[in-house]
Amino acid sequence: MSASLPAEADEAFDRFCRLAQRQLGAPVVLASLISQEGQVIPGAVGLAPDLDAARALPLTLSLCQHVVADASPLISQDARLDPRLSDSGAVRELGFVAYAGFPIVDERDQVVGSLCALDVEPREWAEDDLAVLLDLAEACSSELRLRGERERARRAQQQATRSYRQSGLLLLLSDAFQDALTVRDVARTAARVAATGLGTAFTGLAALERDGKSLSYISMDAFTGDDVERWRRTRLTDDRPIAHVARTRTALFYEDRAALIADFPVVEQMEFMGEARAFLPLVSQHRLIGVLGIGWLQQRSFDDDNRTIKTALAAYTAQALERAQLLEERRDVARTLQDAMLTALPQPEHLAMAAHYLPAGRADRVGGDWYDAVVLPGGSVAVMVGDVTGHDMDAAARMGQLRSTLRAFAWDRPDLPSTWLARLDHAIKGLGLGTVATALAGRIDRVDGGYRLHWSSAGHPPPVLVRPGAGAWALGGHGANDLLLGINPQRARRDHVDDLLPGDTVLLHTDGLVERRGRPLQESLDTLTATAGRLSHLPPDKLVRALTDELVGGQPSDDTALLAVQLRHCPGDAEVTPPGT
């Protein structure tokens, strides 16, 4: 076994380690790969300077080697009490005591490393901590697999160029799959390539399901009739051509419909277009991942060269399909992680709150926007939204830092929102977070039978007040914005005060909801207030969905976060005098 990454810092794996450290609070987190020569550490946070510079350890100092050897997690509250671990140099020389590590798996499904958290004191690992560590280890595995697949695809393309130099047209089209990031992208690209290079009339891509016992068509374009859905899914044991190809991993070629029906009578029940058919197994690393069906409207003969070109098409499709599946797996893990960081909103008796988040990134499907709400010790409620530059895992990591720090400042000292933002601005510089962000923080108090909102903006769009029967409008007016976070923490910040009524709804949003290229911002803000006023009868959970559907749709060009807070009338409640007024 050999590690597939050099002994040097890797930004992607460092990022996963930073995410784990923020969630677990462990002093050291490592993403390590094990080989016979030793342990390389592409991802690390908290290492001593000399180890961080070397990014490598001998196996005598490695606890991660046990995760690889056992191909299973290793959890220890106190390694000094574990006979298997107590003599390790990591314990005796480096002083590590508590250890929690989960396997990192490569593209061959082999355990090659570990994502681990270490502590110099005994520690009982919480279930939530271990769940976060497991999710991030799976994200590390997806990253490693994706890199392996990219390298293998590069080598395969070079080999294909040498082997199929005579098939120039298909090879020229091979780069068409480079931008296919989803399974549906792969299906559409395969259809386009087959139509351009082979003159096909239709293409069907059937992917192997996770249970390994069935295939499902991504699209049903080749089928006609009212009951096409009955043919979408095929068990590998069925007497259908794609099932036969999946079982045998051998391509089938039919010059016309009659020849196909002769071998597979069930096909006669299907309503489909055309005559000639070819069914090609999609195999990668000796593993079946699907079947590609291509067809022509007329009869067609298949000579050896003809079949070779189609086999090459299947190879490109298989590589692209596997890469897309790995990307979708990575997106699922990343989105799960972001959902975990965007905790559930509190629901105090006098407020109804709902939020909606849409990421813009095509790759990770995560981003730097956030929303939050916290019930403060005195009964007031802090509400916040923010926007960190970027649409990827790095932006999500920095978002998690700022969000957690801001909610801690609000809870620790529940005074005025401007002081929370000022403290956060100083923390960005003092902790070396190195980021620029916008944010808006507010504090809602009950007072004199109504409500009062104190709020402060760091370069962020203003809150919108929605009042049933009266419409909606932006609060603050011109000049309500202060400087963005992360630029000059010495600049003073201001608070704004608005008195509100029971039944009002306050909307806090990020700029992805309103900013559009080539359109004046004020025009977009006017559209937001007009739409919010028209939808003022909706409760918060339906209002946030309806607003994002109308203003953004399903394909946002920027990350979008929207928080709605409706002020309720609660008879008999004691009035709350807001602090700091």
CATH architecture of the domain with range 164-330: 2-Layer Sandwich (3.30)
pLDDT band at 553; cut points 50, 70, 90: confident
**Token duo for residue 348:** 């105090």
pLDDT in tens, 85-128: 999 999 999 999 999 999 999 988 999 999 999 999 999 999 99
CATH code of domain 342-567: 3.60.40.10
pLDDT band at 556 (very low <50, low <70, confident <90, very high): low
pLDDT in tens, 48-74: 999 999 999 999 999 999 999 999 999
What confidence score (pLDDT) does residue 577 get? 44
Give 74-138 as a 3 state SS string: EEECCHHHCCCCCCCHHHHCCCCCEEEEEEEECCCCCEEEEEEEEECCCCCCCHHHHHHHHHHHH
Least confident of 185-194, 392-401, 437-446, 448-457: 392-401
**pTM value surpassing 0.85:** no
CA 472 to the chain's CA centroid: 34
Mean residue pLDDT of the chain comes to 86
142-176 pLDDT tens trace: 999 998 888 888 777 766 654 554 455 556 556 77
Q: What pLDDT does 538 receive?
A: 94
Q: Which CATH architecture has domain 11-146?
A: 2-Layer Sandwich (3.30)
Contacts of 496 (CB under 8 A, 6+ apart): 454, 455, 456, 457, 475, 476, 480
Count Cα neighbours of 142 within 13 Å in the Cβ-side half-sphere.
Answer: 21
Give residue-wise pLDDT tens across range 289-311: 999 999 998 998 887 656 777 88
| 342-567 and 11-146 share a CATH fold | no
Higher pLDDT, 449 or 281: 281
**Three-state DSSP class for residue 555:** coil
Domain ranges of the chain: 11-146, 164-330, 342-567
Q: What is the pLDDT of residues 498-508, one digit of tens each?
A: 999 999 999 99
Element housing 339 (H / E) = helix 304-341
**pLDDT more than 70, % of the chain:** 88
